[in-house]
Amino acid sequence: MRIGEVAEKTGVSVRALRYYEEQELLPACRSAGGHRQYCDTAVTRVRLIQHLYAAGLPSRVVREVLPCVDSGEAHPALLDQLEAERVRLDERVTELLAVRDRLDHVIALTRDPDADCSHLE
């Protein structure tokens, strides 16, 4: 399958596919004419890569995760790394919720400037 076909089937740009190849995430062969050729599993692989990126993982971690997905065996160190990232995200979510609550107070004060502000101390 040529790069344009993979791009069309996945909704991922040709440029992104080239980047995936450069990062050793998506293998490609070259035809006699020098065109990239991908195997039939490339569409599934690209969707997985996109899912891993959407989970906030950088390319170097995606590169570590892909062989584990292929083999069905995760290395304990990688699992620890992923779980630590989840803890970091949980902390960030908590921080963002607190920021949202403060913004809600600002909105309320903007709507009613005479409101009691004692809870902000």
| pLDDT for 35 | 85
Q: Are residues 52 and 13 in the same domain?
A: yes
Q: Are residues 49 and 99 in the same domain?
A: no
Instruction: Determine the structural domain holding residue 63 and report its residue range.
Output: 1-73
Q: Are residues 35 and 87 in the same domain?
A: no
Close Cβ partners of 61 (under 8 Å, ≥ 6 residues apart): 52, 81, 82
| pLDDT for 62 | 94
| pTM over 0.95, yes/no | no
**What CA–CA distances, in Å, run from 20 to 7, 109, 117?**
12, 49, 53
Q: Are residues 10 and 30 in the same domain?
A: yes
Q: Are residues 60 and 118 in the same domain?
A: no
Q: Within a 10 A sphere around the Cβ of 52, how many other Cβ atoms?
A: 19
- Tens digits of residue pLDDT in 30-65: 888 888 899 989 999 999 999 999 998 989 999 999
Residues of the chain predicted below pLDDT 50: none
Q: Domain containing 67 — which CATH number?
A: 1.10.1660.10
Q: Are residues 8 and 65 in the same domain?
A: yes
Residue at which a domain ends, from 73, 95, 112: 73
Q: Are residues 7 and 64 in the same domain?
A: yes
Q: Are residues 90 and 66 in the same domain?
A: no
Q: Are residues 20 and 51 in the same domain?
A: yes
| pLDDT for 121 | 57
| pLDDT for 118 | 62
| pLDDT for 29 | 87
Into how many domains does the chain fold? 2
